Structure 1
Amino acid sequence: MSEGPKSWPVMSIAEAHARLTAPGAPFEIEEKVIRGIRTKVWKNAPPTLRHVFENGRAFGEREFMVYEDDRATYEGFGRAAVRLANRLTAEGVTKGDRVAVIMRNLPEWPVAFFAGIITGAIVTPLNAWWTGPELQYGLADSGSKVAIVDDERLERIAPHLDECPDLLRVLVTRLADAPADPRVQRLEDVIGPVNGWAALPVEPMPAVELGPEDDATILYTSGTTGRPKGALGTHRNMTSNIGAGGISVARNFLRAGEPIPVVDPKTAPQRTSLLVVPLFHATGLSATLGPTINAGGKIVLMRRWDAEPAMQLIEREKVNATGGVPTIAWQLIEHPARTKYDLSSLQSVTYGGAPSAPELVRKIPEVFPASAPGNGWGMTETTATFTSHLGKDYENRPESAGPAAPVGEMQIRDPADGVTVLAPGAVGELWVKGPQVVKLYWNKPEATAETFVDGWLRTGDLARIDEEGFLFIIDRAKDMLIRGGENIYCVEVENVLYDHPAVMDAALVGIPHKTLGEEPAAVVHLKPGGEATEQELRDLVRSRLAAFKVPVKVVFWPETLPRNANGKILKTELKKVFQEEPA
């Protein structure tokens, strides 16, 4: 990472953005009217995800994905995706139908996603960590016609298929035994094994007209009601991350007074990323997969995150970038075997999705001298990245999430009225606007009306913005905690605890954790004469919800939980019971 001249920065954020977005510049901005709202957009971004797919396929025999012994080129990936798209069309999938993708990070995941995209479907990635009932809700709520899953997810949804009335077909990959249900078919019978994709015949893509404002994805985000909400995103939402990621890097060169390197993706060294966040997250899908394909990069996948195997992959595949949440960076830094491996190829360790200590910003370049730290802020509703914070800007403001990409706008409003815009430095509720903001919540008109107002997204985050436009997240107005990048809405867990016959009062709070950011912990008050053990309550939550939502601790409170005058539980008081035993 360059130290730049002593006068750093040589220009403001506003001046850097003005240069980078000027007419004729690579990041030129224009205005479009989208759903009646004038919106800044990237002029040169791919119009749709089909264009991203075609841009990637143009890299031909270049290697695209690596997973254990499987390796796929761009051409092999392209042939498999088109073949599967044509199969979906034969199954009756038409533009606007929902196609669910439910699997761990496998090479088949991007194939399933882009196959759905090029049929014109609204692709609906569901959280692979969800339980069977949670997955059934997502399939039924979205009205998915086809689900493309792996063997583990089939096992979870199989008992619930009759509760998904719109689901006509399930295609499953990596299944050991023959499917017992006639609705279920092997994906390999359509596209074959990964290492055979390049030998598939060339087929024409389905003839479907797609535009930037067409619906592309439904990504589920938990809701304060306890039921996940499907964020309906357009093709423009999904492709806007390509510009946002590129401009944040270019901005750093200008701020340092250095020329921006001219990079031709066709001839430049291929950039390799170790992807360890789930593809079903906006971060994995929108901020990583899409931009990587568009630029012809390589993605290395792991079955599950494990620091030492990750370091082996970084050395073997000469990985340039990794990250996702602070957990990953900390585990790489602190692993006792780190010095056994050549990690010198790492140029970028970035993260978001969880609180991170300023200490981490200093440790990354110290431990990985060729690597720059980075973080950012975004939500499922902003299709991942809305602000980016890299290099020296991050080192100088380690508690900030960075400035917004110049197509985005941010305001801090008075939480009391949701209208009054506060002055720089004042703390209030963060509202954002831009081409990254999704269209609405699927089948949730009331929640849509509350959250999306005249083109603005009410984020629920308490924040401040300094004079130069750097965002600082202060707290979450929504009752939510984030464990290693996974959103946990407290009411969802509390509702399960309340279902126990002995529980009178229950509250979920976040307790600090060095690598995960925070973990869920519960405080429970039992009914007179009621009995329950900590393990019993944790098992109850585990039986209903995904494992990451299970409280790591349960403390029994001797009386009714403390509340304010409005009856709201004082969670700040409850957190104190865990402070004597820090995680």
Structure 2
Amino acid sequence: MPTYAEAVATLTAPGGPFEVTTEEVDGVEMKVYASRLGSLRDVLAMAEGHGDATYIAHGDERISFADFKARADGIAAGLAARGVGHGDRVAVLAANSPEWALTFWATVSLGAVLVGLNGWWKTDEVLYGLEDSGSRVLVADAKRLGRISDVLAEGALPDLEAVFVTDAAPAEVGGGDRVHPFAELDAGPADAPTTPIAEGDPAVIFYTSGTTGRPKGAISTHRGMVANLQNTVMNTMAGAMADDAPPPLGAEDAGGQTVGLLTSPLFHVAGCHSNLVVSLLGGVRIVMPVGRFDPVEVLRLIEEERVKIWATVPTMVWRVCEHPDRHDFDTSSVRTMAFGGSPSAGELQRKVRETFPNVRSASNAYGLTESSSVATVLTGSDALERPESVGRPMPVVDVRIDDGAGGAAPPGTTGEVCLRGPIIMPGYWGKPEATAEAIRDGWLHTGDVGHLDEDGFLYITDRAKDMIIRGGENVYCVEIEERLVQHPDVADAAVIGVPHPSLGEEVKAVVQVASGASLTEDDVQRWVAEALAGFKVPTYVELRDERLPRNASGKLLKNLLRGSGDVSLAETL
């Protein structure tokens, strides 16, 4: 049998099912799949082929592929009846649910743009996302709509024409006469939309925090999301062909529908691009837990639903693998685990195999919101031999390490990781300057630091200096710092990440208290919590009277705050 790399080469060779060629895309020569679907609407059309098999399982609710497709077409017609057309933005602010998925597929099938708002955002953040995106319609659940209902009732966001609440009556949530029940969107049986959609049309806007203030809306195109879909399918096929592939399924599993567990939020590329979209094409039943992530509930669902695939962030895997009751559940059905969001250490690989005895494929992936999900993948025996790597590039992705002069650094040299390919965003919504900074000559400058080895495996060794990855969430320090210094008793502030065994990192604030002022750790945490999402609230607060270390140009020397670096504190004062 071939190795994984040999299987990829066979699948992507001329005449292969995933033949790779080169084309000019937006003036940039790049690798693409020679045969590909033209848009996400074409992907949705394939749902009918899976018929009565279950697409989404959410609590007691079961929706078949055929019924889901019919409902999505009806909701697309409902949106169109309200004037939503090609290029218009439809926002979703909700926990994972069938309504989230239906709104996504209806919107992109219409040629409109789905705006996924972070479900953990607070009032000001939500209002910013809606205004920045220019959304005409919002679909929200009652809990999250409650964060903005008062200001909506007062007339805020006049360009937001209608709000549809998924799980409550409008009178229960307030918000004024713009709020309607989600059922009103469903126009009933309808033909699929026919509005032309180009590969380069925006399909999704997901917000990612930036190092210069407010979050930026990264655009995923139909081309990028379809390319990510084909990357995923190709990777699955190559893994099955490889000599380290899982053994054949037992008689009790053979011929059954593949079941995947979806615990990543749908407003992340991991949840939407690499789970929701891939599962529809592949006929995979998606099991969505109800409510917040709970390790025991995950274990129960794995046992009852016979989950075979779980793709998520390392933090969630850690929480399940370290739970004291993990061995009380039957996890034998799980065959494939996929991590994303950070390098998966060898210890996590060991924990996975201890908790899920039949796992034969434990893969790690690297990608960004700006890359429409996965750019590199580590799988099969490579995951055991190089557990600190994030793998090799997908077939239509180029990776280079920037040499500082616009060229590629040689193997083993550390530098900024740059990506190129059809999965890369065309830019940030309405932010041409930020786009020009991030994408140069077709290369996305990720802000991540790493190196490539002689075999083309990527290693991430550092990140953009002002970013923390907490449980798979990107936390940019400047946003928290700007909030902290608005407090009248804060003279200066710096935010850094500190190691955490399962979250990866936790947020720490180092605060210089204003002269004569009195401030407590609780005061600082409450102040941040009033304006920013809970995952951005510092877990640790260090209060000090002395000035924070800065260089001659005023830049914070965070290496000193982290306890490393060659510059002494005295030299900075």
TM over 0.5: yes
1:103 maps to what in 2?
A: 94
Instruction: State the 1:268 CA deviation.
Output: 5.2
- Which of these residues, 177, 180, 187, is aligned with residue 185 of structure 1? 180
Taking the aligned partners of 1:177 and 1:124, their CA distance within structure 2 comes to 22
For residue 308 of structure 1, give the secondary structure of its aligned residue in structure 2.
helix
1:318 maps to what in 2?
A: 306
Answering whether residue 278 of structure 2 is matched by residue 278 of structure 1, we say no
Taking the aligned partners of 2:424 and 2:198, their CA distance within structure 1 comes to 17
Counterpart amino acid of residue 77 in structure 2: N
Answering whether residue 12 of structure 2 is matched by residue 24 of structure 1, we say no
For residue 519 of structure 1, give the secondary structure of its aligned residue in structure 2.
strand
Answering whether residue 56 of structure 2 is matched by residue 68 of structure 1, we say no
Contact 2:4/2:243, CA 8 A, preserved across alignment: no
Contact 2:343/2:390, CA 8 A, preserved across alignment: no
2:219 maps to what in 1?
A: 232
What is the percent sequence identity of the aligned residues?
Answer: 42
Instruction: State the 1:38 CA deviation.
Output: 1.7
1:165 maps to what in 2?
A: 158
Give CA deviations for 1:402-451 in whole Å, capped at 9, x if unaligned.
Answer: 00101100110124x4x132100100011110011011111101101111
For residue 285 of structure 1, give the secondary structure of its aligned residue in structure 2.
helix
Answering whether residue 232 of structure 2 is matched by residue 245 of structure 1, we say yes
- Bigger CA drift: 319-328 or 99-108? 319-328
Contact 1:355/1:517, CA 8 A, preserved across alignment: no
Answering whether residue 335 of structure 2 is matched by residue 344 of structure 1, we say no
Instruction: State the 1:317 CA deviation.
Output: 0.5
Taking the aligned partners of 1:29 and 1:131, their CA distance within structure 2 comes to 44
Counterpart amino acid of residue 116 in structure 1: T
Contact 1:240/1:436, CA 8 A, preserved across alignment: yes
- Which of these residues, 68, 91, 95, is aligned with residue 82 of structure 2? 91
Instruction: State the 1:78 CA deviation.
Output: 1.3
1:369 maps to what in 2?
A: 357
Answering whether residue 377 of structure 2 is matched by residue 388 of structure 1, we say yes
Counterpart amino acid of residue 351 in structure 1: F
Give CA deviations for 1:472-503 in whole Å, capped at 9, x if unaligned.
Answer: 00101341001101111000000111011111
Output the TM-score relative to the length of structure 2.
0.93
- Bigger CA drift: 45-54 or 102-111? 45-54
5 Å-filtered alignment, 1:185-204, equals: 185-191=180-186, 202-204=189-191
- Bigger CA drift: 164-173 or 103-112? 164-173
Taking the aligned partners of 2:77 and 2:237, their CA distance within structure 1 comes to 39
For residue 214 of structure 2, give the secondary structure of its aligned residue in structure 1.
coil
Taking the aligned partners of 2:528 and 2:73, their CA distance within structure 1 comes to 41
For residue 222 of structure 1, give the secondary structure of its aligned residue in structure 2.
strand
Instruction: State the 1:76 CA deviation.
Output: 1.6
1:546 maps to what in 2?
A: 533
Taking the aligned partners of 1:380 and 1:48, their CA distance within structure 2 comes to 19
1:194 maps to what in 2?
A: none
Instruction: State the 1:366 CA deviation.
Output: 3.2
Contact 2:397/2:420, CA 8 A, preserved across alignment: yes
Q: Where does structure 2 lack aligned partners over 5 or more consecutive residues?
A: 249-253, 565-573
Taking the aligned partners of 1:560 and 1:313, their CA distance within structure 2 comes to 51
Answering whether residue 300 of structure 2 is matched by residue 307 of structure 1, we say no
Counterpart amino acid of residue 139 in structure 1: L
For residue 146 of structure 2, give the secondary structure of its aligned residue in structure 1.
helix
Taking the aligned partners of 1:32 and 1:284, their CA distance within structure 2 comes to 29
1:403 maps to what in 2?
A: 392
Contact 1:133/1:160, CA 8 A, preserved across alignment: no
- Which of these residues, 207, 229, 248, is aligned with residue 194 of structure 2? 207
Q: Where does structure 1 lack aligned partners over 5 or more consecutive residues?
A: 5-9, 192-199, 262-266, 578-583
Instruction: State the 1:249 CA deviation.
Output: 3.3
5 Å-filtered alignment, 1:405-420, equals: 405-415=394-404, 417=405, 419-420=406-407
Taking structure 1 as reference, are residues 483 and 218 closer, same or farther at Cα in structure 2, changes over 3 Å only? same
Taking the aligned partners of 1:566 and 1:401, their CA distance within structure 2 comes to 36
For residue 492 of structure 2, give the secondary structure of its aligned residue in structure 1.
strand
2:522 maps to what in 1?
A: 535
Taking the aligned partners of 1:109 and 1:456, their CA distance within structure 2 comes to 32
Taking the aligned partners of 2:104 and 2:230, their CA distance within structure 1 comes to 21
Give CA deviations for 1:58-91 in whole Å, capped at 9, x if unaligned.
Answer: 2121111111111111122112111111111010
Counterpart amino acid of residue 90 in structure 1: A
Taking the aligned partners of 1:345 and 1:255, their CA distance within structure 2 comes to 21
Taking structure 1 as reference, are residues 340 and 432 closer, same or farther at Cα in structure 2, changes over 3 Å only? same
1:42 maps to what in 2?
A: 33
Taking the aligned partners of 2:478 and 2:229, their CA distance within structure 1 comes to 35
Instruction: State the 1:231 CA deviation.
Output: 1.0
Counterpart amino acid of residue 185 in structure 1: H
Instruction: State the 1:247 CA deviation.
Output: 2.7
Taking structure 1 as reference, are residues 513 and 214 closer, same or farther at Cα in structure 2, changes over 3 Å only? same
Instruction: State the 1:125 CA deviation.
Output: 0.9
- Which of these residues, 469, 494, 501, is aligned with residue 482 of structure 1? 469
Contact 1:102/1:128, CA 8 A, preserved across alignment: yes
Instruction: State the 1:257 CA deviation.
Output: 7.4
For residue 347 of structure 2, give the secondary structure of its aligned residue in structure 1.
helix
Answering whether residue 139 of structure 2 is matched by residue 151 of structure 1, we say no
- Bigger CA drift: 470-479 or 30-39? 30-39
Contact 1:480/1:487, CA 8 A, preserved across alignment: yes
Taking the aligned partners of 2:263 and 2:247, their CA distance within structure 1 comes to 29
Answering whether residue 44 of structure 2 is matched by residue 53 of structure 1, we say yes
Taking structure 1 as reference, are residues 55 and 260 closer, same or farther at Cα in structure 2, changes over 3 Å only? farther
Instruction: State the 1:57 CA deviation.
Output: 2.8
Contact 1:354/1:484, CA 8 A, preserved across alignment: no
Taking the aligned partners of 1:11 and 1:536, their CA distance within structure 2 comes to 57
Taking the aligned partners of 1:307 and 1:239, their CA distance within structure 2 comes to 32
Instruction: State the 1:354 CA deviation.
Output: 3.2
Taking the aligned partners of 2:508 and 2:541, their CA distance within structure 1 comes to 6
Answering whether residue 453 of structure 2 is matched by residue 453 of structure 1, we say no
Counterpart amino acid of residue 561 in structure 2: L
For residue 92 of structure 1, give the secondary structure of its aligned residue in structure 2.
coil
Instruction: State the 1:253 CA deviation.
Output: 5.0
1:7 maps to what in 2?
A: none
- Bigger CA drift: 176-185 or 45-54? 176-185
Contact 1:250/1:260, CA 8 A, preserved across alignment: no
Counterpart amino acid of residue 189 in structure 2: V
Number of equivalent positions: 554
